[in-house]
Structure 1
Amino acid sequence: MTKLLISSFDMEVGGVERSLAGMLNQFDYDNHQVDLLLYRHQGDFMGLLPDRANLLAEVAQYATFRYSIAETFRSKHYGIGVTRLLSKIISGIYGKLRSISEIGYIQQQFMWKLALPFLPKLNLEYDVAISYLWPHYFVAEKVKAKRKIAWIHTDYSTVDTDIKMDLRMWQSFDTIIAVSDACRDAFLAKYGSLADRVKVVENIVSPESIQSQASTAEMVNPMRTDSRFKLLTVARLSHAKGIDQAVLALKTLRERGYGRIAWYVVGYGGDEAEIRRLIAEHNLTDHFILLGKQTNPYPFMEACDLYVQPSRYEGKAVTVTEAQILGKPVLITNYTTAASQVNHGVDGYIAELSVEGLADGIEELYSNDAVRHGLAQYCGAHSFHNRDELRKLYELMGSKRKEYAS
């Protein structure tokens, strides 16, 4: 029996959290004793966690990483609060000196590095410890395990990090798992010395579960009664996901005379106010519709005519694969890892990464029923089962038994 720890932040609605739940629900618990450590026991996806994964008690110091700075001080974690303030100041100076406009990742690096002296170790020992979400300092510094594994979910060519600081952290891990070949290649362009440690294991998906949830009729779904051509995006409302570009692309399509297109978005995030401002500014209130946070996005996917991922960057978008499982035509932007997500013209369409490119791609698929239906038919006939990805993980963990439950 392999004693395994998996750590992550929380179970708020998001692609990484859904992929974690998907993996845990298909895990081989007959051969693995699994402890799950979440920094905070919160999020609408908490209910997706299987009973056989042992959820460890919340550790107060680690829960602060989901607090604001003010909340951290109010919870009397003064040392961590001071490090949060320092990391904000230092990363701001760092960004200005290096002309970096997006310092979020760097701030997280400094935040963890400075907080380490105030964070307790986990007083348990494991055969394997998996850190599922960057930054991975907790498993690297505070967990005792014979083997350590870290996960990469993002495209590292699109984010700024302090490479030296990160490299010291990455060297604590025996294996680094990327969710796609392109994701691995982008990571190695920065951290080439780690090439022998980086392996690819795709996000684990369950087509049966997705198809079952898609048939749920209980929720209110305005898409079911909308007779227009319906686009759907499921994503955080953030710069990375390109929802602002989507608003402007719909404006462009309407200017071209396509007035019977509606764009629905399932998701929430920090850019919501700005996106709502854009929607109002361009008189799209009845055409670009924010559906908010939804724990089950699949009935909305089932009701759409075209699934669109307008992202600026991705590791590998779980939602795109989920739409393909439901037999939907998909359009994604040409972010760096796009070719590892979609085979253009076969199981999806890759549009130029710009407002005009999005509008052009949507216009082509809207106007060409044969192409759109061809993409959908291929996805409907194709199996998206990837159970073998779990077998890869077991082998990387060094599990002795080679035959596992599927």
Structure 2
Amino acid sequence: MKKVLFFIPNLMHGGAEKVLVNLVNNLDRNKYDIIVQTIFDEGVNKKYLKKDIKYKYIFKKIFRGSTTLFKLCSPKFLYKYLIKEKYDIAVSYLEGPTARIISGCPYEDSKKISWIHIELNDEKLLSTGFRSFKEAKKGYESYDKIICVSNTVKQIFEDVSGIKENVEVLYNTNETEDIIEKSKEKVEDIEFDKNTINICSVGKVIEKKGYYRLAQIHKKLIDEGLKHNIYIIGIGEDEYRIKKYLKENNLEDTYHLIGFRDNPYKYIDKCDLFVCSSYREGFSTAVTESLVVGTPVITTLCSGAQELLGYNNEYGLVVENNKEGIYKGIKKLLDDRELLDYYKEKAIERGSFFSKEKTVKAVEYMIDSL
């Protein structure tokens, strides 16, 4: 039985944290002794770990300056004093500090895997958590396997790092059956207007998710007489700015920031359209989940979008990553209910491609091949 460590900063409400929990919960316990370790013992996703998954942490709370502090010590020192144990396979499940720490694993017969979830578009981004680009490149070169969540993420990583060996793509694991079951639950805290189009999105309410520009697009469409509601499920530091804009423009009755929800799927299911307005994504968990639920999707052109929806909009609309692109895409679907119904059918068809069984088997095959 292989002893496998999955190392991540925390288990908060992000997409990577969620799909890690999905993955470890479904790996074969007869083949792997699984340990999840976090730097900080925080996050809503911790409670979803199955009871037979060993969990441990280094620090109880997140503290300021931790990233800088970690850079003061060498990767080998950090591994020795923070990870301590020897594993058959040590996985850094995010870029940044965990990638640097695992790169310092001193055991020659331990295999190391680094998971890349975002577009590391330049040397500065690729060096996040490391002292320099030179150190980052050396650190990533020490890994036996680098896993990227989409072909775009892989291509960008290879171009920026210059590393071409042992880099492959594996799609994120989603609890597909569980998602479908939860999507059928009743929504009791919101009364959706059945006489208009209801649009939703799920994600951290931070700048990169594009919810502020989505509010501006919403205003333009409302001003043109195209009635619709938008519901944003999530929390984050961009809430104040968006709420201020909504108040100033009398949009509080049609653009709703409803906060974090344990079960976002029942809201996605009751809406007519899911929108991903992000400036950047790795491989959107929320878009994948929407396809599984069977809700039509419109997304900006960012990493993974065309892999999810097709290179010719076969399974949903991929639009230019700017306000005009999002505006035109939403307007097109608000104006054409037949097209919206068509994409509902295509969403269901595409969702089956990302079944839990397929993605878990692919990861197990990769681990067994090391």
Q: Same fold (TM over 0.5)?
A: yes
Residue deviations 1:190-238, cap 9 Å, x none?
A: 012x211211110012221101111233x64315456431110101111
- Cα offset for 1:21? 1.3
Aligned residue pairs: how many? 355
Residue matched to 1:130: 91
Query: Out of 313, 316, 319, which is 2:283 matched to?
Result: 316
Q: The residue matched to 1:366 in structure 2 has which SS?
A: helix
1:250 aligns with 2:218: yes
Aligned partners of 2:185 and 2:266 also within 8 Å:
yes
- Opposite residue 366 of structure 1, the aligned amino acid is L
In the TM superposition, residue 143 of structure 1 has moved relative to its aligned partner by 6.7
RMSD: 2.2
> Partner of 2:37: helix, strand, or coil?
strand
Q: 1:379 deviation in Å?
A: 2.0
Aligned to 1:168: 138
1:352 to 290, 298, 320: 320
Q: Any conservation in 2 of the 1:268–1:292 contact (CA below 8 Å)?
A: yes
Distance 1:132 1:114 in 2: 22
Correspondence 1:394 to 2:336: no
Deviation at 1:320, TM superposition (A): 0.4
**For residue 153 of structure 1, what is the amino acid of its counterpart?**
H
Provide the residue aligned with 2:120 in structure 1: 156
Q: Which runs of 5+ in 1 are unaligned?
A: 70-83, 85-107, 401-406
TM-score by length of 2: 0.89
Matched, 1:230 2:188: no
Structure 1 CA distance for aligned equivalents of residues 150 and 213 of structure 2? 25
- Name which of 266, 285, 294 aligns with 2:261: 294
Query: Percentage identity across aligned positions?
Result: 24
Corresponding residue for residue 38 of structure 1: 38
Q: Is the 8 A contact 1:309 1:333 kept in 2?
A: yes
Q: Find 1:377's aligned residue among 316, 328, 345.
A: 345
Native 8 Å contact 1:112 1:137 kept in 2: no
Aligned residue number for residue 130 of structure 2: none
Aligned partner of 1:54 in structure 2 is 54
Q: Matched residues in 1 for 2:169 and 2:188: separation?
A: 38
- Per the alignment, residue 201 of structure 1 pairs with 170
Secondary structure at the residue paired with 2:309?
Answer: coil
Q: 1:158-186: CA deviations, max 9, x gaps?
A: 78434323212212211000011111011
Question: How far 1:391 moved relative to its partner?
Answer: 2.7
Structure 2, unaligned stretches of length 5 or more? 128-132
How far apart, CA to CA, are the structure 1 residues paired with 2:369 and 2:319? 42
Q: 1:388 to 1:173 in 2, by over 3 A?
A: same
Is the Cα–Cα contact under 8 Å of residues 268 and 290 in structure 2 kept in the other structure? yes
Residue of structure 2 in register with 1:177 after alignment: 147
CA spacing shift, 1:362–1:223, aligned 2, 3 Å: farther
